[in-house]
Structure 1
Amino acid sequence: MARMITRPVADIIEQLELDGDTIVTVDRLASVMDEVGTTGSPRMLAYELQRDGWLGTLRSRGAWEFIPGSRAGSYSSGDRFLEFRAQHALRTGWSGVLAMESSASLLGLAQRILDREVIALPDDVAFPKAMSGQWRCVRIEIPDEGVTVINGLPTWGREGLLVGIRPSGYKGIAGLGQWLSEAPFDVDTDKVLRLLAAASAAARQRTAYLLQASGNREAAQEIVDADSPAEQPGSGRVVRADDTTPSQGSATTGSTHISALEVDREPRHRRTPGSPLPRREMRTRCRPSRHRRRLPGCPTHRTRRYPHSKDLERLPD
């Protein structure tokens, strides 16, 4: 379909073509009008450009997709991140970053794209209404060191993705196990340790498990060794591999080496027979005879060469 270029908007279209704009906002049109010396209303100009087929409609109010002349008609580019780009163009300093499956696809890891893209937002930032339905939001904050920019899109890097993965937030568990087992997941171990500095013990255990499941046992061991020293049996903490004291109730007697992800299964608190388990203890203990959910890395589990999707779903969230 042929598109018309009228004389009043010719200079504006030329400037947008030269600058390579993908998203056009009202403020952007106003600045271009000042550059080319055109007077008038930016919103009225946006209406004319949209009517002539130079701007495409988006759900984000006040933003449009610029359709350059190199396309054979008024057709969208099909970029699945257009609404995400529009939010960054409308809000200067918006803290939204691509996360989970979206980050894995940009990094070239995920081989399957899910129906909804994922962004990570802090707890005090509202989820845009224009992205509801087509996007999914997770409330996870990764330090700026774990964020990178790919094709103009802020996203989690390899280290940020490794630290930020949660079983409740990563829906493509089968795909996660697939790309995680293809080759050892190479990361900057020092950066991972810095990202985990303010993280919980569950996050450190989860990160070490993912690294070990991918075959990068050296990095997993460094994360475990950098953790706090092991407590006495009954603490439920991850036991360090360099601990020379065998855990109580260990099947191997006289052994001085303990697996990097071995979890002490002794009860945290003594209780009288028949009394209910505390809620926190029920989440951390592994009792196959009473609870269906088991912690990954538990010594009672069978050792697999590659991570199973059910094991990834049972990671501490």
Structure 2
Amino acid sequence: MTVPSRALSKGMARIVAELELRQPTLVTIEELAELAHEVELRTPAKVLAARLRATGWLLPTAQRGVYEFAPGSHAGPYGHGDPFIDLRASLRAGHQPITVALQSALWLHGLAERVPDRHEVAVPAGATISDAIRDRMRVVRFSPRLPPAEVERLTVHQPPTILVHLASKPGDVRGWHTFAEALPDLVSNSSPDDLNRELHQRPSTARARLAYLLSGVAPQTADRLQPTRPPTVTWFGASRTTRRFDKRFNIADGLLPFDPRTISEAA
């Protein structure tokens, strides 16, 4: 790969000097226009962006008009290595709220050792998502009841939300073994009250599935979650081939590659 020269004209050098001082990860075309005004440079922002891209000081993102700044300390046109850079760029552009979910949320909370092959985000039903985000991330539809946490300047589903997501929409999940390993930590970071808040106004089937999922790792929590009147039969997964049946919660499990009732209780 040929590394472009990062030499600059005097006017462009003033722009880069300001960027070096502020050390932004992302820069919008509007911010470039403001910088140009501050340093009394009349070059249009789009021309500045093109020149800074050509010399390797700005790197493209998936979001038009939002660029990654490659500071001098990177010794070349190299990014920050942030796997969420395109998500951050989309959020900077003012797109609808996108929240880190499922395995990606586990990883950001430090509850999973493995980074997912494709990061996962959640949006509310009906939200419009750019093709760029769809191309780079796995998008699911899920609306939390609890406010998300903030981790590394990203909004991330809290542990109770992750658990209720598993029970509400098990078809959204990839890598169930990862969640089986994380169940004790998810439970220890989820109060029964928060689980109940996250279950508020959701179908009773979600409550039954969650109680079944936690019956081994957190039996007392499962007792509190158990519906007063369990549905006749609740399926866990779309398959109608039953791997196991739980009489207590009336769960026909055709999905899970493990029996949640055998997972050790959280310490």
TM-score strictly above 0.5:
yes
- AA aligned to 1:220 is A
- AA aligned to 1:309 is P
Cα root mean square deviation, aligned = 2.8
* Structure-2 residue corresponding to 1:211: 214
Q: 1:35 to 1:194 in 2, by over 3 A?
A: farther
* Structure-2 residue corresponding to 1:113: 115
Shift in Å, 1:182: 6.7
- AA aligned to 2:14 is D
- Structure 2 distance, partners of 1:300, 1:84, is 39
4+ long deviations beyond 6 Å? none
Secondary structure at the aligned position of 2:107 is classed as: helix
Deviating more after overlay: 8-17 vs 146-155: 8-17
User: Which of 38, 47, 51 lines up with 1:48 in the alignment?
Assistant: 51
**More strand as a share of residues:** 2
The answer on whether the counterparts of 1:146 and 1:195 sit within 8 Å (CA) in structure 2 is no
Secondary structure at the aligned position of 2:88 is classed as: helix
The answer on whether the counterparts of 1:116 and 1:134 sit within 8 Å (CA) in structure 2 is yes
Confirm or deny that 1:161 pairs with 2:162.
yes
TM-score, length-normalised on structure 1?
A: 0.69
Shift in Å, 1:121: 1.1
**More helix as a share of residues:** 2
TM-score, length-normalised on structure 2?
A: 0.81
Secondary structure at the aligned position of 2:24 is classed as: coil
Shift in Å, 1:191: 2.1
Secondary structure at the aligned position of 1:114 is classed as: coil
Unaligned runs of 5+ in 1: 231-235, 238-267, 269-280, 286-290, 302-307, 313-317
Q: 1:221 to 1:139 in 2, by over 3 A?
A: same
Shift in Å, 1:104: 0.9
Q: How does 1:8-23 map to 2 (within 5 A)?
A: 8-23=11-26
- Structure 1 distance, partners of 2:257, 2:108, is 22
The answer on whether the counterparts of 2:62 and 2:89 sit within 8 Å (CA) in structure 1 is no
The answer on whether the counterparts of 1:63 and 1:86 sit within 8 Å (CA) in structure 2 is yes
* Structure-2 residue corresponding to 1:178: 181
Q: How does 1:1-317 map to 2 (within 5 A)?
A: 3-91=6-94, 94-143=96-145, 145-165=146-166, 166-181=169-184, 185-213=188-216, 215-224=217-226, 227=227, 229-230=228-229, 236-237=230-231, 284=235, 292-294=241-243, 297-298=246-247, 309-311=257-259
Say how many residue pairs are matched: 248
Q: Identity, % of aligned pairs?
A: 28
